[in-house]
Amino acid sequence: MIKVILWDVDGTLLDFEKSESCGIRRCLEEIGFYGCNDAMLERYARINRRYWEALERGEVTKQEVLLGRFETFFEEETIPCDDIAAFNSSYQKKLGEVFFENEDSVRLCGKLQAQVDQYVVTNGTVEAQRNKLKFSGLGECMKGVFISDEIGVEKPGIGFFDHVFAEIGPVNRNEVMIVGDSLTSDMRGGNNAGILCCWYNPKKKENTAGVRIDYEISHLWEIETILG
């Protein structure tokens, strides 16, 4: 029986790609660049993913991710920006203000409150994640929120999950399930922690990371079937 769900946020409960696109466009307009198109946003998204994957492998720091992705993007797109740190700060604020649910996720989490204990586990920044959870209503469904910036360790590091379990108290890890879209962060983290792993995979991607997957879903509400 599953008694605890650890939810990823970006790409799982919330549509991060939409928030990302909206936030980038608005920030670029603030610095006077109005020529952002879909192709540019796709290129930024690829750069961003590369940086986050490097972070998960321990190759860069969180600060290097937050600033380096924009430095690379601006250089490749020849976009002038005098203050990368200020641009990132504005971007984090906008990410917390603009959010889009995946598949009525707030109602799902609200419904599951009577059945399981739910927690957020995220590598996102504190400002963006706290605001998203507050304004979306997801935070009200959770018994706790665990953000890597506050813990000092990123998913999939075992230290992240050791902190989570130290905080939530005694629990049988066979009764805990992580739900997320990332193989390298969520599923590998779940493997490291020795808990059940549910891969949210709406685009039917191939498991190329060599990680254990206990459940695979293409729609969030399939969680109800898993819980029985």
- Which residues participate in catalysis according to the annotation? 8
Q: Which two tokens stand for residue 24?
A: 């980038």
In angstroms, the CA 73 to CA 34 distance is 15
- Residue corresponding to tokens 């992580």: 178
- CA–CA gap between residue 120 and residue 58 (Å, rounded): 22
Q: Count other Cβ atoms within 10 Å, centred on residue 57.
A: 10
Judge whether 116 and 223 are in contact, CB under 8 Å.
Answer: no
Q: Are strands 144-147 and 176-180 parallel, antiparallel or unpaired?
A: unpaired
Neighbours of 106 (CB within 10 A): 17
Q: Rounded to the nearest 10 degrees, what angle do helices 62-77 and 38-56 cross at?
A: 150
| Cα–Cα distance list, 90 to 87, 124, 145, 227 (Å) | 5, 15, 23, 40
Residue 98: partners with Cβ closer than 8 Å, 6 or more residues away: 19, 22, 23
Helices 84-97, 62-77: crossing angle, 10 deg rounding: 100
